[in-house]
A = this chain, B = another copy of it.
Amino acid sequence: MSKFKSLPGFREFYPEDFAERRFLFQVWRQVARRFGFQEFDGPALESLELFKAKSGDEIESQLFCFEDKGGREISLRPELTPTLARMIATRANSLKRPIKWFSIGDNFRYERMQKGRLRCFTQLNADILGESGPAAELELLALLVQLLQGFGLGADDFLIRLSDRNLWMLYLEALGFADKSAAILEIVDKWERISEESATEKLVGLVGDSGSSLAGSIRAFLEVRNLQDLKTAFESASEEAAEGSALSERLDDWNCLLDGLEAMGIAQFVEMDLSIVRGLAYYTGFVFEAFDRAKENRAIAGGGRYNGLVRKMGGPEMPAVGFGMGDVVLADLLRERGIMPQFVDTIDAYLVIGGDSERSVALADASLLRQSGFSVDYSFKNQAFGKQLKAASASGARFALIYGSEELENAVVKARNLSDRTEQDLPRNQLPLALRDLLA
């Protein structure tokens, strides 16, 4: 036991935990690179102002923020996107578009801890900047699907709910509530968590008596699952809006995106579901979240379009869309489904050393074998053969290489296969080659 503890919401990763972590990162990286995304990273610590510029002053209550020794107001990053937007803004003129970037890094939020929510978590971020059309959303949704498939999750396990803040704006405008849209969407965002009655109450509080009919219209919109339903909802709201060019243009985007999902063979993973509005006001178009089908966990991933942010950071107009996927919910889900692989550390060879007179030869070979790319271990102390063979097995070694006086006299080492216990002599003067053949 130690007299010290890690802080609440922060994790330690012992080697067996780290192996899971490495697996998550490997799949994230591999799949993102298949899609032609390039990896980048930014600082974990930034000026507080950067985060407020994106999310408003309220964000401060969730931050690990403080004044540094030089009097700067700084904060650990709660998310990567503000840093990304600044980096893009800084080099907007020299970066080739579309920009397809991903990053894997830690984020820090001072929040109440719950299942799936810690104070430090690692997140994959994938973003496409410089493309305003729905081809960017298509690419990100395809990436999201293949990422989850990469972990062994299938159509029975997860669903991406696809929504659109543009459609909400058009709909609220059609209903005559354009001026209250931000406040209304905040209520919609909580719709699933609070009862419909209490949502209606809030709407009445916001817009007066028409709040209860607004609640009915919102409920109808939340039930939309395809473009036909959508048309119907708009027709009940306003004939004029239903036939307007704004809606028709937006429907073209939807058709393009849905056709792309069909073409890529991933339509079954994505459902139109306008209940996703993603609280944050900075989203400007399509938004989406991936959930496990059983809905037992928090969202596995979420994102959307945020066209205004790069400009807000001092850069040029730059369309942008992206998503984040955290490690906590994902790892919980893989464990629940029983598909988190079991990791066993292995090495190629463990040297079993007779005694002082054989040690220098064994050390020379250990050095040579490692230099040749093999993973090799050995006992630091002179010990009985039996004890060393036990350590060899415990180390996960595939072979024990035995350095006894007899072997060395014959210029060989004895290789024992630790799973089937077969043995054979390997010539010391060609040891790397011989071991390679044995391992193959």
Q: Considering only CB atoms, which chain B residue lies closest to A106 in the complex?
A: B44
Q: Which residues of B contact A6 (CB under 8 A)?
A: 42-43, 46, 83, 86
Please determine whether A45 and B371 come into contact, CB atoms closer than 8 angstroms: no
CB distance from A108 to the nearest CB of B (A): 7
Produce 1/0 per residue, A251-283, CB < 8 A to B: 000000001101111100000000000000000
Taking a contact as CB atoms under 8 Å apart, the answer to whether A2 and B89 are in contact is yes
The reply to whether B86 and A36 contact each other, CB–CB distance below 8 Å, is no
Interface residues of A in 195-235 (CB under 8 A from B): none
A69 contacts B by Cβ under 8 Å: yes
Question: Is A120 interfacial (CB 8 A cutoff)?
Answer: yes
Kindly identify which residue among B36, B106, B146, B364 contacts A347, using a CB–CB cutoff of 8 Å. B36
Distance A204 CA – B348 CA, assembled complex (angstroms): 57
Residues of B within 8 A of A136 (CB): 380
- Are B53's CB and A64's CB within 8 A? no
Q: A4-60: which have CB < 8 Å to B?
A: 4-8, 10-15, 17-19, 21-22, 31, 33-36, 38-47, 49-50, 53
Nearest CB in chain B: distance from A252 CB, A: 13
Is B131 in contact with A380, judged by CB distance below 8 angstroms?
A: yes
CB–CB B15/A47 < 8 A: no
CB <8 Å contact, A47 and B7: yes
Enumerate A350-405 residues with CB–CB distance to B below 8 Å.
359-361, 363-364, 366-368, 370-371, 373-377, 380-381, 394-395
Taken together as a complex, chains A and B put the C-alpha atoms of A248 and B440 apart, in Å, by: 48
Q: Which of the residues B35, B49, B363, B368 comes within 8 Å of A370, measured between beta carbons?
A: B35
Report the minimal beta-carbon distance from A250 to chain B, rounded to whole angstroms. 18
Give bound CA distance, A35 to B371, whole Å.
Answer: 10
A120 to B90, CA, bound (A): 21
Instruction: List the B side residues contacting A108 at CB < 8 Å.
Output: 45
Is there a chain B Cβ closer than 8 Å to A87's Cβ? yes
- Whether B345 contacts A12 by the Cβ 8 Å rule is no
Residues on B with beta carbons closer than 8 Å to the beta carbon of A64: 45, 66, 68
Nearest chain B CB to A119 CB, angstrom units: 8
B-facing residues in A387-428 (Cβ within 8 Å)? 394-395
Whether A39 contacts B11 in the complex (CB less than 8 A), given A2-B313, A3-B313, comes out as no
Query: A263 to B403, alpha carbons, bound, how many Å?
Result: 15
B34 near A374: Cβ-Cβ < 8 Å: yes
Partner of A50, one of B4, B86, B120, B260: B4
Determine if A74 is an interface residue (Cβ-Cβ < 8 Å): yes
Task: Say whether B53 contacts A39, CB under 8 Å.
Answer: no
Name the B residues within 8 Å of A49 (CB-CB): 4
Tell whether, in the assembled complex, residue B41 and residue A363 are in contact, meaning their CB atoms are under 8 Å apart: no
CB-CB < 8 A to A193: which residues of B? Answer: none
Cβ of A160 within 8 Å of any chain B Cβ, yes or no, is no
For A72, the chain B residues whose CB sits under 8 A away are: 7
A33 contact set on B, CB distance < 8 A:
375
Q: Are A35 and B375 in contact (CB under 8 A)?
A: yes
The docked-state distance in angstroms from the alpha carbon of A394 to that of B375 is 38
A1 CB–B CB distance under 8 Å: yes
Q: A135 at the A/B interface (Cβ < 8 Å)? A: yes
Is residue A139 within 8 Å, beta carbon to beta carbon, of the partner chain? yes
Q: CA A265 – CA B11 in complex, angstroms?
A: 40
Let me know if A4 and B36 touch, CB within 8 A.
no
A177 at the interface (CB under 8 A from B): no
Q: Is A290 an interface residue, CB under 8 A from the partner?
A: no
Give Cα A97–Cα B36 distance, bound, in whole angstroms. Answer: 43
Q: Do B380 and A135 touch across chains, with their CB atoms under 8 A apart?
A: yes
A101 interface residue (CB < 8 Å to B): yes
Query: How far is A2 from B88 in the complex, measured between Cα atoms in Å?
Result: 8
**Complex Cα gap A81–B375 (Å):** 25
> Shortest Cβ distance from A418 into chain B, in angstroms?
15
* Chain B hits for A368, CB < 8 A: 265
Taking a contact as CB atoms under 8 Å apart, the answer to whether A380 and B139 are in contact is yes
Ordered nearest first, which 3 A-B pairs have the shortest CB separation?
A66-B66, A3-B314, A36-B377
Q: A7-B68, A13-B41, A15-B38 known; 10 other A-B pairs, CB under 8 Å?
A: A1-B89, A5-B86, A8-B70, A10-B46, A12-B83, A17-B40, A34-B370, A36-B377, A133-B381, A146-B367
